Amino acid sequence: MRKNSRNSTLWIITFFIGTIFQFWRGSQIDTLVFAVITSLLLVASQEILELPNLRATNLATSLGILFVCTLVFTFVGIHSVLSAIFYLALISVVLMNMWRSDSISEVESTPALRRSSMIWFTIGVVTCLAELGNYFAADATHNDKVYPTITVLIDPLVAHNGGKIIFVLLWAIIGVGLFRVSVKK
Amino acid sequence: MSTTYFALSYVLLAFAAVATWVYSRLRPLRIAPFGQLLRHMMISRVNRIAVFAIWWWVGWHFFGQPFPN
């Protein structure tokens, strides 16, 4: 099996498990979100759909406007329909840009990259398992104070404006950073 | 006290992440730095979509979702 198809399968399985989990916990919107992402990954892995590349200037303008609007509406109306619309518009434009074909079909990996990949993969998986373990334990014991999920720990921090500003800024900086490493050189 | 004990698992994971990040900056030939790994990953369309989906969902989950539960 080629490395790319193995990666694709892992991501698809991960998001599929996420879809089942969201369905099980009764979150209809998140079930839909995860199902859409899983489907998109499935289509992307098959390379059966190509989208036209957006022109760089149009992309920068639309992304910039959407990004600012998303941040503004996060503060004006947290969990509002309007902020949801901007979040959905933002991810739509981002994904359209990220849909381009793989720039190089097969890139040589170094031992250092493989080790790094394995360590970060392990940290990611263990984090998910810790989150799941705490979620199920909290559900069974009705005590999310003893078994807190990441959401339970972060929610009080973002409940006031100071924490919200720090969290949203971090989220925005990470997004811009990801975009910078993803743009085609 | 129990809360601290179970929440500690996240602190340990955060510590592991920071330690890996620092070590990879000091010994890049042994463990590739996170930025280098990310650039390598983002060559693949599926990886790009998955990574951005995770990033976006964090913002959506805490701020965007209209009817959180």
- Cβ atoms within 10 A of the Cβ of B29, count? 9
Same domain, B15 and B45: no
- Give the number of domains in chain B: 2
CA–CA separation, A176 and A83 (whole Å)? 19
Q: Which residues of B touch A84 (CB under 8 A)?
A: 60, 64-66
Those of residues 28-47 in B touching chain A at CB distance below 8 A are: 28-47
Are B41 and B64 in the same domain?
yes
* Model ipTM value: 0.88
Residues of chain B contacting residue A168, judged by C-beta atoms under 8 Å apart: 59, 63
Of A1 and A91, the structure prediction assigns the larger pLDDT to A91
Tell me if B49 and A95 make a contact (CB, 8 A cut-off): yes
Domain match, B24 and B44 both: no
Q: Which helix (H) or strand (E) holds B4?
A: helix B2-26
**B39 and B9 housed in the same domain:** no
- Stretches in chain B below the pLDDT threshold 70: 1-5, 68-69
Q: Do residue A153 and residue B10 have CB atoms under 8 angstroms apart?
A: yes
pLDDT tens digits for range B4-17? 667 788 999 999 99
Domain locations in chain A as residue ranges: 1-49
Same domain, B52 and B62: yes
Q: In this complex, do B13 and A130 lie within 8 Å of one another by their Cβ atoms?
A: yes
CA of B9: how far to CAs of A116, A122, B12, in Å? Answer: 21, 14, 5
Q: Are B22 and B38 members of one domain?
A: no
Q: Which of A9, A123, A179 is nearest to B42 (CA)?
A: A179
Mean predicted confidence (pLDDT) in A94-123: 83
Q: Identify the domain containing residue B55 by its residue range.
A: 33-69
Whether residue A42 has pLDDT greater than 60: yes
- Cα–Cα distances (Å) from A133 to A85, A128, A137, B48, in that order, read 32, 8, 6, 28
